[in-house]
Amino acid sequence: MAKLILFPVPIGATDPDTSLPPYNRELLNACHIFIVENIRTARRNLKRMGYSSPIDNVTFLELNEHTSPLDISHYLDPIAQGEDIGLMSEAGIPCVADPGSLITSMAQRNGIDILPLIGPCSIMLALMASGFNGQNFAFNGYPPIDEKSRTTLLHTLEQRIYRDHQTQIFIEAPYRNDKLLQYLAAHLQPTTRICVATDITLPTQYIRTRLARQWRTDPPQLNKRPTIFLIYK
C-alpha cells in the first residue's frame, strides 16, 4: 500500500554515508513526489543523497509559511492512486523543529500509513553526548526573545531540572547563540550545568559540558554555527 515516507537529510555538506542507512536511498530512488520546504535546496539535497532517478521528473510540493491550507489539503491525494510520497526536511529529521507535522497529522487523520526513516537528529546526538539525563528530557524550541518572558521560562525550566530531574533543551537563531550562552551562564544557578553542542555531525563538531559559572569565562565562538543548548543539574 502506498504511504508517506519521512526522509531525513544530512546536516551540512557531509557524506551521506556518515548520516543515513543504505536502506533510505533505496526508498528515495523509488519516490517521485516530495513535499519540501524549499524546492531549490531540496533538488540539491536529493543530488547529495545520491538520488538516481531523473530529477526533472520529480514533482515537488512546497510546504512553508507561504503555502495555503487549501493547497496542503490535496498534497496526499496521490497516495490513494498508489504513489508513495516523500516528506523531506531541509536538514536532519523531518517533523522535528520544522512545519512537517502539518502533513503527518493530516495523514494520521486520514488513516494513511507513515514510514519514518532513521537519520541525523542533532537534538538527540547532543543529548547522548551531554552526560545529562536521557530518561527524562524536554525540547523547548526557541526561548522567547522578550527578556521578561525569557527569564520566567528559564526559571520554570530550571525548577523542572531540580524537581523532576528533567534535562532541558533549546535552540536559538544561530546569530543569537553567543548572547544566549552569555544569558544562560549569567542567569542560571552557578552550579547548574550547561552543555553546548555545536556543528553536530560536521568536522568542526564541539560538544562540551561545564558549570554555568565556568561558561562565564572563555566562551566558544558560536555565531552562525547551528547549536543545541542543554541544561541539567
CB nearer to its own copies: give 80 or 128. 128
Separation of alpha carbons 218 and 62, rounded Å: 43
Which residues are within 8 A (CB) of 148 and not within 5 positions of it... i.e. 6 or more apart?
none
We find the least distance from the C-beta atom of residue 81 to its own copies, in angstroms, to be 22
Q: Tell me how far, at minimum, the Cβ of 103 lies from its own copies, in Å.
A: 8
When the beta carbons of 142 and 175 are compared against its own copies, the nearer one is 142
Give the CA count within 13 Å in the CB-facing half-sphere of 155.
Answer: 6
- 92 secondary structure, DSSP code: B
Q: Which is nearer to its own copies, 57 or 99 (CB)?
A: 99
CB of 32 to its own copies, least distance (A): 21
Residue numbers at the binding site for its own copies (CB under 8 A): 6, 15-23, 93-98, 100-101, 104-109, 114-116, 118-121, 124-141, 166, 195, 201, 205, 207-209
Cβ proximity to its own copies: between 20 and 180 the closer is 20
Task: Output the CA angle 152-95-77, nearest 5 degrees.
Answer: 140
SS3 109: helix
